[in-house]
Structure 1
Amino acid sequence: MPATITSTAKQQMVREQYTSTTQSTSLERPENQYVYNIGIYGWRKRCLYLFVLLLLIVLVVNFALTIWILKVMWFSPTGMGHLHVTKEGLRLEGESEFLFPLYAKEIHSREDSSLLLQSTHNVTVNARNSDGEVTGRLNVGPKMVEVHGQQFQINSVDGKPLFTVDENEVVVGTDKLRITGPEGAIFEHSVETPLVRAEAFKPLRLESPTRSLSMDAPKGINIKAQAGNIEALSQMDIKLHSSEGVLLLDAETVRLPKLPEGTRGGSDRSQELYEICVCPDGKLYLSAAGRYSTCQEYSHVCQ
């Protein structure tokens, strides 16, 4: 029978072989051994620590300045200070000062407050086209308001044009144009209007100091004074002309106090009743009333 070798016997044999081999082998170690130090020492180490310290100080100062700027400028998730970013655009609360031009598509105030644009010199609003050229300008200065554009129009709340100005005409679209100046209104050229009326209990006066005053209408002119007199004064002549109709003076009493009196043969006598006569050129004169017309007898005024 073959001999059986146990595990204990195997370990003992391996240990004996390792011991015999180790004892017979001798390793020679070098006498001079060199030691290399790994790392940074001396002044380099001090400079590195100083640089790290300065970097840490800079980071702390930057972080502190950032926090201070965020606090002073009132930065928030919705905007900065009184300036809030919304879906409709930018919303600005309170008063703000712009040092450079402001470009915006639409500017409007809150529903419960008015919009105020204020400047120490003037306020200028420009409208530009796609090429950058100014097509409209509104300049509000300390002494005058200037509007440059092809047309200037003021509309009411419902969109009705109240006042329109262009190169050809000026249109006032209101039902009543009221002029409250003590000297009235001065027009250098013609005026076209359907009605001229004074305020209540105040007289209406149409005057041309150095030229003539003319009123023309295709269907007639109506001059009416409900609680007063109508006076027409002229240095030269007053002409009432109707091309197709008649001239009608409808009143209880019509007075012509300064009509000349006609004479017959150079004689003049007192008379209580007179007849109004008309010369061929339209001149009126008085003749002594008789049983029949006496205009021919007193027609020396027409000569």
Structure 2
Amino acid sequence: MVREQYTTVTEGTLVERPESQNVYKIGIYGWRKRCLYLFVLLLLAILVVNLALTIWILKVMWFSPTGMGQLHVTKDGLHLDGESEFLFPLYVKEIRSRMDSSLLLQSAHNVTVNARNSEGEVTGRLKVGPQMVEVQNQRFQISSKTDKPLFTAEEQGVVVGTDKLRVTGPEGALFEHSVETPLVRADPFQDLRLESPTRSLSMDAPRGVHIKAQAGKIEGLSQMDILLQSSDGMLVLDAETVRLPKLEQGTWDPSGSSQGLYEICVCPDGKLYLSVAGEDTTCQEHSHICL
């Protein structure tokens, strides 16, 4: 049985209460406190390092309110100064250079520009390689500043829209098939040569072929025959002098003899042959040559 003790005091008497035996302390003490301070210092150090790295990256990358480095954001798009390297595909609507400089696209292998439709299929391709420039499209056209077609290439043919097509190579132009043109002319003080080394050379026109040399001569060379043919009309040799230098030349005999003189005879098919000259024509005597 527990006995309870009561203490009676009177007024004016001071009684000391017995002190409690259990004391509780509030806070972190000892090694826990030191670990907490060390953790706080570590976080502070990491925060300072991150802030320093962020400032360094901003400085190195040249971040600014208008963009990053030489790349500026404008109302019309992106403005880039200097050289740039793209490691992945670039999708843009328009690429253009500044007014005072040219646009350079450079690659270690090749430069390829593709045009796609709404379904993602390639409709046109321009490929610039180390050995060849390749264009894949239904039609290739080069126009002037005034939108005049200068050169057009498609499956139906090739059209050159310039007033003059100039070939500056020393060997001239080589055509494997026929060529249709209203005029073939050489540069001033240069010779014009139409040559077929292993085959025949043919010039046809429904209204005639006009060959003109304003200063110089016209020379035709052939290993075999040279044919001048007119389907509807005649062949006219209109010149001050018509010469056949390879024909045999006769000599005039002082006695008045025609021996050694010849006349030129013409067959109905246009063939020319020589006949010994006489007082009258002797072509009828050698008409069997025309058979």
- Shorter-chain TM band: 0.7 to 0.9
Amino acid at match of 2:107: S
Q: Give the counterpart letter for 1:206 in structure 2.
A: L
- 1:94 partner letter: G
Any idea what SS the aligned residue of 1:45 has? helix
- CA-CA distance at 1:260 after TM superposition: 7.9
User: In 1, are the aligned partners of 2:141 and 2:149 still within 8 Å (CA)?
Assistant: yes
**Does the 8 A contact of 2:259 with 2:277 survive in 1?**
no
Q: Partner residue of 2:163?
A: 175
Gapped regions of structure 1 (runs ≥ 5): 1-21, 262-267
Distance 1:228 1:60, change over 3 A: same
SS in 1 for 2:265: strand
Let me know the Cα RMSD of the aligned residues.
Answer: 2.7
- Deviation (angstroms), 1:138: 1.7
Report the 3-state secondary structure (helix = DSSP H, G, I; strand = E; otherwise coil) of the residue aligned with 1:135.
Answer: strand
1:271 partnered with 2:261: yes
Alignment identity in percent? 77
Structure 1 or 2: more helix by fraction = 1
Corresponding residue of 2:187? 199
Alignment-mate amino acid for residue 271 of structure 1: L
Higher relative contact order (CA 8 A, sep 6+): 1
Q: What runs of 5+ residues in structure 2 fail to find an aligned partner?
A: 1-9, 250-257
Q: Secondary structure at the match of 2:53?
A: helix
Q: 1:92 maps to what in 2?
A: 80
Q: Tell me, yes or no, if structure 1 residue 184 matches structure 2 residue 172.
A: yes
The one-letter code matched in structure 2 to 1:139 is K
Q: Distance in 2 between matches of 1:81 and 1:67?
A: 15
Q: Considering only CA atoms, is the larger Rg found in Structure 1 or Structure 2? A: 1
208, 226, 230: which one pairs with 1:220? Answer: 208
Matches within 5 A, 1:42-191: 42-191=30-179
User: Is the 1:259–1:285 Cα contact (8 Å) retained in structure 2?
Assistant: no
Partner of 1:229: helix, strand, or coil?
coil
**Matching residue of 1:15:** none
Instruction: Please tell me whether the aligned partners of residues 138 and 154 of structure 2 are also in contact (alpha carbons under 8 angstroms).
Output: yes
AA in 2 matched with 1:284: L
* SS, match of residue 147 in structure 2: coil
Cα displacement (A) at 1:291: 6.5
Number of matched pairs:
273
Structure 1 residues 53 and 287, CA gap change in structure 2 (3 angstroms):
same
TM-score normalized by structure 2? Answer: 0.84
Cα distance in structure 1, aligned partners of 2:104 and 2:20: 93
1:234 matched to 2:222: yes
Residue 219 of structure 1 deviates from its aligned partner by: 1.8
Matched residues in 2 for 1:69 and 1:250: separation?
90
Is the deviation greater in 205-214 or in 293-302?
293-302
Residue 151 of structure 2 aligns to a residue in which SS? strand
Give distance in 2, aligned partners of 1:106 and 1:56: 48
Q: TM-score, normalised by structure 1?
A: 0.81
SS at structure 2 position matched to 1:48? helix
The letter for the 2-side match of 1:270 is G
Cα distance 1:289–1:23, how it changes in 2: closer, same or farther (>3 A)? farther
